[in-house]
Amino acid sequence: MDYLYLFFRGACGFAIVYAGIIFMIVKKRDRVQMNFGICFMTVGLIFDSSVLNAIFRLPESIANPIAIASVLVLSQAFFEVALYIFECECRPGTRRHALLAGILWAGILCVLPLMDRALALEPAFTDPENDQRLAPFHTLTRAALYLWPVIILGVVFRLSRPTGSVHPETRGMRFTRWGIAVFAVILILISMSVVLPSPVLYHIGNGLLQILMLVWFLFIIRNPEVFRTLRLEIEGTCERNLMLKEDETDLISQRLARIVINQELIFSSELDIKRLAKAVNVPAYRLSNYFNSCLNMSFSVWLNDLRIDRVKKHLISEPNRTIFEIMMDAGYSSKTVFNEQFSRIVGVSPSEYRKNMRCEPVEKSRNSHAV
């Protein structure tokens, strides 16, 4: 029975690797198809390597890093697919953060089994794959191994901008949603089977994963443009939800005007767009969209214009105060940033501006006497 299971597992692994090769050959320049090909090849190689490990009993110092590296590649490839679909909603830097987190996770999993030796812990669990005895930290590593793809897929949704939109209920969206949900449940099932431990649950989980990969392959082959279409639909939804209605624009304008008149918040050194959005009582992304689409400027440009205008008035009306004191009152905590912004808006440095303003009344007085 075990040999039959290993044969079936190995054959499925080779079939999944072959499916991945087809994806990569047919659509060489298609980003999502290439990453799906990497996903399939990695899953197939994980199945095949587990068969080889069961037959030849590879040392854990070799088998563990191979499994961890394979799942890291799988996670990043799935992440790239999800990022391709939802890219219009994701924050800049999401890809880099996910990769760094994945590398950190892989490093921790490589180190965890060493804790068993360091603490001289005895084997207390049984590996459901090959009946080997595993120490506690080694078991924890095996269980956590299957959870990272679930976490990494959630990163896209967690870090997506809160557009408040409802994703389009198309065939591609339903396939994506159910595919991700089933994939997550299967990996959680396999992880639980390692902790329990339960060989039956482990084999069921792996069998379901093989079936899921086959369903994905057949669906994508029959609908090669499904993800490209879905991406365009989501982009259209994002654009529609980012558009501000006239009554919302008027409301934001009125609330901003009251905040500017009050002055206390505007000239706080801790003010950022999130704090201002809270005061205006709108989401930060909608306030940012208001500045960009209605005022044709960013939040930082708008804020610096107000602050520099205040500084200009006080440089003239309060000649005995230092420029530094006036700068601090306007909300600047960095002299370098203040000087850069003042020069950008006014065209001269603060000291030159004050000097010019002092000379201007004298010049006007001389001209009046000459007349």
CA 269 to chain centre: 28
What pLDDT band is residue 146 in, cutting at 50, 70 and 90? Answer: confident
Of 168-172, 189-193, 326-330, minimum mean pLDDT range: 168-172
Quote the pLDDT of residue 308: 93
What is the SS3 assignment for 6?
Answer: helix
What are 211's two structure tokens? 């079936």
Percent of the chain clearing pLDDT 90 (strictly above): 18
What are 348's two structure tokens? 């001269």
pLDDT reading at 305 higher than 60? yes
Burial 2-40 (b: 16+ CB within 10 A, else e): eeeebebbbebbebbbebbeebbeebeebebbbbbbbbb
pLDDT reading at 189 higher than 90? yes
Q: How far apart are the C-alpha atoms of 222 and 240, rounded to whole Å? A: 30
Q: Is 263 left (phi over 0), alpha (psi -120 to 50) or beta?
A: left
pLDDT reading at 362 higher than 50? no
Quote the pLDDT of residue 156: 65
CATH number of 298-371: 1.10.10
pLDDT reading at 181 higher than 60? yes
What are 327's two structure tokens? 């700068």
Alpha-helical regions (H) of the chain: 2-26, 31-56, 60-86, 94-118, 136-145, 148-158, 171-195, 199-222, 226-242, 246-262, 273-280, 284-294, 299-317, 323-329, 335-346, 350-370
Q: Are 105 and 150 in contact (CB under 8 A)?
A: no
Name the pTM for this structure.
0.65
| Block residue for tokens 């969209």 | 289
What pLDDT band is residue 162 in, cutting at 50, 70 and 90? Answer: very low
Fold of 2-239: Rhopdopsin 7-helix transmembrane proteins (1.20.1070)
Quote the pLDDT of residue 299: 92
Q: How far apart are the C-alpha atoms of 315 and 346, rounded to whole Å? A: 13
Q: How far apart are the C-alpha atoms of 25 and 312, rounded to whole Å? A: 64
Q: What is the DSSP code string of 333-352?
A: --HHHHHHHHHHHHSS-HHH
From residue 300, alpha-carbon distances to 288, 304, 369 in Å are 10, 6, 45
What pLDDT band is residue 92 in, cutting at 50, 70 and 90? Answer: low
Quote the pLDDT of residue 36: 84
pLDDT tens column, 276-299: 999 999 888 788 889 988 889 999
pLDDT reading at 220 higher than 70? yes
